Amino acid sequence: MDLIVEGIIQAFVLLVHGDPEVMRVAALSLGISLAATVISLFIGVTLGTAIGLTRFYGRRFLVSLINTGMGAPPVVVGLIVTIMLWRNGPLGVLHILYTPYAMVIAQCVISLPIITGFTMASIQQVNPKLRLQILALGASHGQLLWLLLRETRLPLLSAVMAGFGAIISEVGASMMVGGNITGQTRVLTTAIVMETGKGDFGLAFALSLILMALVYLVNLVLTLIQQRSRPR
Amino acid sequence: MNQAVLEARQLSMVLGERQVLQIPSFQVLPGETLVIMGPNGSGKTTLLLCLALLLKPTAGSLAYHGTTVKDAAAELQLRRRFAVVFQEPLLLDTTVLKNVTMGLHLRGIDSQEAKQRAMEWLGRFGIAALAEQSARTLSGGEAQRASLARALALQPEVLFMDEPFANLDAPTRQALIEDFERILRETKVTTVMVTHDRNEALTLANRVAVLIEGNLRQIGLPHEVFASPTDEGVAGFVGVENVLPGVVSAQSKGIATVTVENQKIDAVSELPAGSRVTVCLHPEDVTLAQPAVEATTSSARNHLTGTVIKVFPIGSQVRITIDCGFPLIALITRRSFEEMGLVTGQNIVASFKASSIYLIPHR
């Protein structure tokens, strides 16, 4: 119980005093995860819409891969991205291993199947006749896609929340491709693991509280957008 | 004759290995309300969607005012002259007003005019007060009114409707059909409507087309199709429950005597003796009476004595099956049924006029 109280007090102190290292770690966490979410959103919505609206040979296999990817362990993703970015790996020439860029890539790989899967499911849930109705109203194919996505905005925002939630809280991939380097790739989750390992439970708990507050704030904003978008 | 607004030529649709549509020619004339009827799975909706350019047929072409529609750009331009109302209202998740203005915006109408037109049509369908309400909160009847307002606000050159009243309860449906009939009369918009409800067809149609198993079996004025079906399939679908095979055994001054299972039936027809025919008789054209009463009161030419073998109430009417050597179906009011005290096994006389019978000659 003392540890929890101590953690809350320490978190409060760190936030009030604006501890530069904590702020930097928190900002990096948020920046990396938001960038990965935005990139995954663009790719995932495009892919999910295309797969949701079309029928082609091998579609079921692709859908099963996406569904599996939704539950892919971050450490496995971290391992694969590390191998890809390793000096002698296929993308080694980029020299981005142990940089925030590598962490963005790893987090994209984690959130992309989630956002793609959610988009695909929500697009497939739309009554097929609604597509015909929108076309009948005079929509071009581009306008049809836009209106369908607008119609599925509530589940799509849930997809964003799920994708963001999965990557802001993951630690395995960030540790493996980022290396938890002070001042460069240390993020909240890797810092929590490290402080816990050192036995500094107070600081670990304080960082956890900050992480939870960030997750809550981002989800609060998304929830407000989600709930405001429907007329009463 | 007016040039057709739309004409489908050699239209064919194959789904998997099944031919769902095979129509050599189909025309929609300006200003008419053309009702496409047919049983479930007959290809009605497929035909409607092909005509509305929402479904690409396997083969065939569509001409608009005589010009064949060739590419996607022309299809989009043409779709923007049409409007479609489906069985479900299919409203988007926004306000009623935005639903109605959406199509107008897609067609390049400015916001002010779009809003004005939308409010006008919402008013004509009696739901202007719901304009700012979420479409998801509307009742079934209100939602379908919004859907109709959305279609008519587009001022379409052709309005397509796929069983638009089928999902509504009886009073809502009746009220909406009455409103829609008035609006059709006022706007004279060319309308193609799919239904399997005979009453809707009789109320709204200028012409009726009957589609069975993907083939256009008959097209014509409603009274022609309902009174003079061209084959047994159409007869069965337009409510002719008595469809009996027979042979014309005599012809005299426009009255053909037809032998059906050893019974003689007189029908108004010029068909010569020896013709093999199908006798069509609507069950509501058959009157029933007690044997003693019938001879003195009925002016009908045909009187067949038989035994009641089945009694089946349908709402305010009762469907009676009589064995006259063949099963003959009569539809009488519940009141008549109660007054006559009909029970199964009872002897009864079924009467019908020679002019009530339509003979389909076998080719």
Give the dihedral sign, CA A179/A182/A188/A193. Answer: positive
Please tell me the distance from the alpha carbon of residue B198 to that of residue B200, in angstroms, as a whole number. Answer: 5
Q: Are residues B245 and B229 in the same domain?
A: no
Please give the pLDDT value at position B37: 94
Measured between CB atoms, which of A130, A135, A230 is closest to B79? A135
Query: Using the beta-carbon criterion (under 8 Å), do A231 and B79 form an inter-chain contact?
Result: no
Please give the pLDDT value at position B295: 53
Q: Are residues B226 and B244 in the same domain?
A: no
**Rounded to whole angstroms, what are the CA distances from A92 to A76, A77, A88, A97?**
19, 17, 6, 8
* Alpha-carbon distance B47 to nearest alpha carbon in chain A (angstroms): 14
Q: Which chain A residue's Cα is nearest to B104? A: A137
Structural domain including B304 reads 240-361
* Alpha-carbon distance B338 to nearest alpha carbon in chain A (angstroms): 47
Name chain B contacts of A232, Cβ cutoff 8 Å.
Answer: 133-134, 137
Tell me if residue B206 falls in helix, strand or coil: coil
Please give the pLDDT value at position A189: 95
Could you tell me which residues of chain B have a Cβ less than 8 Å from any Cβ in chain A? Answer: 49, 52, 54, 76, 79-80, 82-84, 86, 88, 90, 92-95, 102-103, 106-107, 132-134, 136-137, 150, 154, 160
Asked whether residue B219 carries a pLDDT value surpassing 90, the answer given is yes
**In-domain check, residue B27:** yes
The two three-digit tokens of residue B63, written as one number: 């001409």
User: Long-range contacts made by residues B72-80, C-beta under 8 angstroms, separation at least 24?
Assistant: B76/A138, B76/A140, B78/B53, B79/A135, B79/A136, B79/A138, B79/B52, B79/B53, B79/B54, B80/A138, B80/B106, B80/B107
pLDDT band at A206 (very low <50, low <70, confident <90, very high): confident
The two three-digit tokens of residue B240, written as one number: 């002719």
The two three-digit tokens of residue A157, written as one number: 């925002």
Please tell me the distance from the alpha carbon of residue A165 to that of residue A118, in angstroms, as a whole number. Answer: 14
**In-domain check, residue B290:** yes
Q: At what angle do helices A153-168 and A100-125 cross, to 10 degrees?
A: 150
Q: Which residue has the higher pLDDT, B132 or A232?
A: B132
pLDDT band at B298 (very low <50, low <70, confident <90, very high): low
Please give the pLDDT value at position B26: 96
Q: Which residue has the higher pLDDT, B239 or A168?
A: A168
The answer for B164, left when phi > 0, alpha when psi is -120 to 50, beta otherwise, is alpha
Please give the pLDDT value at position A164: 94
Average pLDDT over residues B284-289: 92
The two three-digit tokens of residue B316, written as one number: 């305010």
Tell me if residue B248 falls in helix, strand or coil: strand
Largest Cα span, chain A: 65
Query: Using the beta-carbon criterion (under 8 Å), do A231 and B95 form an inter-chain contact?
Result: yes
pLDDT band at A81 (very low <50, low <70, confident <90, very high): very high
Q: Are residues B165 and B39 in the same domain?
A: yes
DSSP designation for B339? H
CB proximity A227 to B under 8 Å: no
pLDDT band at B199 (very low <50, low <70, confident <90, very high): confident
Hey, what's the torsion of the CAs at B239, B242, B248, B252, to 10 degrees? Answer: -70
Measured between CB atoms, which of A130, A140, A150 is closest to B90? A130
**Which pLDDT tens digit goes with each residue over B317-333?**
999 999 999 999 999 99
Measured between CB atoms, which of A127, A136, A139 is closest to B84? A136
Q: Are residues B41 and B130 in the same domain?
A: yes
pLDDT band at A6 (very low <50, low <70, confident <90, very high): confident
Predicted ipTM of the assembly? 0.84
Count residue pairs from A and B with Cβ separation < 8 A: 56
Query: Using the beta-carbon criterion (under 8 Å), do B52 and A136 form an inter-chain contact?
Result: yes
Bridge partners, residue B215, by sequence: B212
Please give the pLDDT value at position B293: 66
Please tell me the distance from the alpha carbon of residue A94 to that of residue A104, in angstroms, as a whole number. Answer: 14
Hey, what's the torsion of the CAs at A6, A10, A16, A19, to 10 degrees? Answer: 180
Average pLDDT over residues A186-193: 95
Query: Using the beta-carbon criterion (under 8 Å), do B79 and A133 form an inter-chain contact?
Result: no
Asked whether residue B122 carries a pLDDT value surpassing 90, the answer given is yes
**Which pLDDT tens digit goes with each residue over B6-23?**
999 999 999 888 999 999
**In-domain check, residue B1:** no
Q: At what angle do helices A2-17 and A201-228 cross, to 10 degrees?
A: 70
Interface of A with B in 149-208 (CB under 8 A): 150-151
* Residue B201's CATH number: 3.40.50.300
Q: Of A168, A203, A161, A157, whose CA–CA distance to A12 is shortest?
A: A203
* Residue B341's CATH number: 2.40.50.100
Q: Which chain B residue's Cα is nearest to A128? A: B90
The two three-digit tokens of residue A94, written as one number: 């980029």
Please give the pLDDT value at position A108: 97
Query: Using the beta-carbon criterion (under 8 Å), do A139 and B88 form an inter-chain contact?
Result: no
Please give the pLDDT value at position B13: 95
Please give the pLDDT value at position A230: 62
Measured between CB atoms, which of B79, B84, B134 is closest to A232? B134
Please give the pLDDT value at position B239: 85
Could you tell me if A110 and A167 are in contact, meaning their C-beta atoms sit under 8 angstroms apart?
A: yes
Q: Which residue has the higher pLDDT, A232 or A33?
A: A33
CB proximity A139 to B under 8 Å: yes
Tell me if residue B81 falls in helix, strand or coil: coil
Please give the pLDDT value at position B95: 95
Instruction: Tokens 């005597």: give the residue.
Output: B257
The two three-digit tokens of residue B30, written as one number: 């300006």
Q: Which chain B residue's Cα is nearest to A154? A: B93
Q: Which chain A residue's Cα is nearest to B159? A: A136
**Rounded to whole angstroms, what are the CA distances from A109 to A2, A103, B69, B100, B244?**
39, 10, 46, 41, 71
User: Both ends of chain A: CA-CA distance in Å?
Assistant: 45
Q: Are residues B302 and B170 in the same domain?
A: no
pLDDT band at A76 (very low <50, low <70, confident <90, very high): very high
Helix/strand/coil (H/E/C) assignment for every residue in chain A = CHHHHHHHHHHHHHHHHCCHHHHHHHHHHHHHHHHHHHHHHHHHHHHHHHHHHCCCCCHHHHHHHHHHHCCCCHHHHHHHHHHHHCCCCCCHHHCCCCCHHHHHHHHHHHHHHHHHHHHHHHHHHCCHHHHHHHHHCCCCHHHHHHHHHHHCHHHHHHHHHHHHHHHHCCCHHHHHHHCCCCCCCCCHHHHHHHHHHHCCHHHHHHHHHHHHHHHHHHHHHHHHHHHHCCCC
Please tell me the distance from the alpha carbon of residue A144 to that of residue A159, in angstroms, as a whole number. Answer: 21
Q: Are residues B57 and B195 in the same domain?
A: yes
Q: Are residues B276 and B296 in the same domain?
A: yes
pLDDT band at A232 (very low <50, low <70, confident <90, very high): low
pLDDT band at B294 (very low <50, low <70, confident <90, very high): low
Query: Which residues touch A57 (CB under 8 Å, ≥6 apart)?
Result: none
Please give the pLDDT value at position B347: 92
Measured between CB atoms, which of B49, B103, B133 is closest to A138? B103
Instruction: Tokens 């030529």: give the residue.
Output: B9
The two three-digit tokens of residue B210, written as one number: 């009957």
Query: Using the beta-carbon criterion (under 8 Å), do B90 and A133 form an inter-chain contact?
Result: yes
Last residue of one domain, picked from the residues B204, B236, B268 = B236
Could you tell me if B146 and B127 are in contact, meaning their C-beta atoms sit under 8 angstroms apart?
A: yes
**In-domain check, residue B291:** yes
Q: How many domains does the structure of chain B reveal?
A: 2
Query: Using the beta-carbon criterion (under 8 Å), do B92 and A130 form an inter-chain contact?
Result: yes
Last residue of one domain, picked from the residues B215, B236, B257 = B236
**Which pLDDT tens digit goes with each residue over A120-155?**
999 999 999 999 999 999 999 999 999 999 999 888
Q: At what angle do helices A100-125 and A20-53 cross, to 10 degrees?
A: 40
Q: How many CB atoms lie within 10 A of CB B152?
A: 23
**Which pLDDT tens digit goes with each residue over A15-36?**
788 788 888 999 999 999 999 9
Q: Of B171, B210, B213, B209, whose CA–CA distance to B43 is shortest?
A: B213
* Average model confidence (pLDDT) across chain A: 91
Query: Using the beta-carbon criterion (under 8 Å), do B106 and A137 form an inter-chain contact?
Result: yes
CB proximity A128 to B under 8 Å: no
Mutate to test the interface with A, among B55, B84, B117 (most CBs of A within 10 A): B84
Radius of gyration of chain A (CA): 20
Say if residue B122 is exposed, middle or buried (CB neighbours under 10 Å; 0-12, 13-18, 19+).
buried
Say if residue B322 is exposed, middle or buried (CB neighbours under 10 Å; 0-12, 13-18, 19+).
buried
Query: Using the beta-carbon criterion (under 8 Å), do A139 and B106 form an inter-chain contact?
Result: yes
Asked whether residue A215 carries a pLDDT value surpassing 70, the answer given is yes
Q: Are residues B68 and B180 in the same domain?
A: yes
Please give the pLDDT value at position A17: 84
Q: Are residues B122 and B191 in the same domain?
A: yes
Pairing of strands B207-212, B33-37: parallel
Please give the pLDDT value at position B86: 95
Asked whether residue B297 carries a pLDDT value surpassing 80, the answer given is no
Q: Are residues B39 and B144 in the same domain?
A: yes
Query: Which residues touch A87 (CB under 8 Å, ≥6 apart)?
Result: A97
Average pLDDT over residues B41-62: 94
Q: Are residues B12 and B104 in the same domain?
A: yes
* Alpha-carbon distance A220 to nearest alpha carbon in chain B (angstroms): 22
**Which pLDDT tens digit goes with each residue over B179-190?**
899 999 999 999
Q: How many CB atoms lie within 10 A of CB B92?
A: 19
Please give the pLDDT value at position B90: 94
Could you tell me if B50 and B31 are in contact, meaning their C-beta atoms sit under 8 angstroms apart?
A: no
pLDDT band at B244 (very low <50, low <70, confident <90, very high): very high
Name chain A contacts of B155, Cβ cutoff 8 Å.
Answer: none
Please give the pLDDT value at position A229: 61
CB proximity A232 to B under 8 Å: yes
Spatial strand order in the sheet of B59-64:
B18-28, B6-15, B59-64, B67-68
Asked whether residue B296 carries a pLDDT value surpassing 60, the answer given is no
Last residue of one domain, picked from the residues B221, B236, B251 = B236
Q: Are residues B33 and B159 in the same domain?
A: yes
Domains with residue ranges and CATH for chain A: 2-226 (1.10.3720.10)
Measured between CB atoms, which of A136, A150, A230 is closest to B79? A136
Bridge partners, residue B8, by sequence: B26, B62
pLDDT band at B1 (very low <50, low <70, confident <90, very high): low
